[in-house]
Amino acid sequence: MKITSSAFENNSKIPTKYTCDGESVNPPLSFIDIPTDAKSLVLIMDDPDAPMGTFVHWILFNMDPKISQIKENSIPQSTAQGITSVGKVAYVGVCPPSGTHRYFFKLYALDTVLNPVNPDKSALGKEMQRHIIDKAELIGLYNRI
């Protein structure tokens, strides 16, 4: 399984458009080699370099495993969203207070469909335990100058 973006390469700079210095919209993402036995997909985007601990920017779950992409500034139809570190149920653009931060886009293939209502990362992680059949990761970097 693999996750990529047409907007940036793995371990390279996220374009300003997808940050608080730009339009703060989600970047386009593509998925390949999803396991055929997957029942749903989960995407968690977080920043482990945040000063107060890992900052969650975006949570999508119960994505149809047949989808191959998330378009810019959108979420796939019938996809649920979780609660970010600022309490929003939406994409939160990258916005590091200082230095270069790493932003992890983590894609999980699950053998089930989840049932939580507006979960945060911790609650979703508990629901996902023992259901992950594959995972992939894309890392973007950003530094506010």
Residue 96 banded pLDDT, cuts 50, 70, 90: very high
Q: What is the CATH number of the domain that holds 99?
A: 3.90.280.10
| DSSP string computed for 100-121 | EEEEEEEEEEESS----SS--H
User: Does residue 132 carry a pLDDT above 90?
Assistant: yes
For residue 6, give both structure tokens: 């047409």
pLDDT band for position 116 (cuts 50, 70, 90): confident
Q: How far apart are CA 127 and CA 10, in angstroms?
A: 28
Q: Residue 52 is part of which domain span?
A: 2-143
- pLDDT of residue 48 exceeding 90: yes
117 pLDDT higher than 90 = no
User: How many structural domains compose the chain?
Assistant: 1
The pLDDT of residue 144 = 82
Cα(127)–Cα(114) distance, rounded to whole angstroms? 7
